[in-house]
Amino acid sequence: MFSLFVYGVFEVVIVGLRVADAANEREDIRLQLASSFELLTREAAAAYNVDNSTSTRFQFDSRIADNNGDGNSENMTNINWRVQNGDLERVQGGVTTTMIPDLTSCTFSYLDSSGVATNTANNVRVMQVVATATREGEVISMASAVRTRNQ
């Protein structure tokens, strides 16, 4: 009888741990989405010379430093945000970083200066991104849009 009691308590503890682990995993993906989108929108807002604007890739040059204080950034870096095998990745200087793994979907879209959809890199003025992940049966989505400095 005592062993049945211990088994019952053990099962309750295991179920509780699984529920807590699932909740932690869902919160983790929410935080990954939020922090990745914050970085993406900050970088895209400074985007000059958009090189690639497809539904799975946004590649651009970004001015990252004003070395002499004249208000112009001298250092340009090429940044590539892409969806590769369900992962949102960021590539800079030949280094690939997986920002969010195992997305259900992630799509980039673009608007020109008139607010019309475009995939022409030189015409991109607004970049939009929508990502969806499914964790423990819960669908988690996030969207963002930012005006670029594309010139």
Q: What pLDDT does 7 receive? A: 56
Residue 8's contacts (CB-CB under 8 Å, 6 or more residues apart) are none
pTM, rounded to two decimals: 0.77
Sheet holding 57-65, edge to edge: 47-54, 57-65, 75-84, 87-92, 95-100
Q: What pLDDT does 49 receive? A: 87
| 115 DSSP assignment | S
Nearest to 108 by CA among 60, 61, 62: 60
Question: pLDDT of 135-145, one tens digit each?
Answer: 878 899 999 99
Question: pLDDT of 109-138, one tens digit each?
Answer: 999 999 999 999 999 999 999 999 988 788
Is residue 103 exposed (0-12), middle (13-18) or buried (19+ Cβ within 10 Å)? buried
Helix, strand, coil share (%) of the chain residues, nearest 5: 30, 45, 25
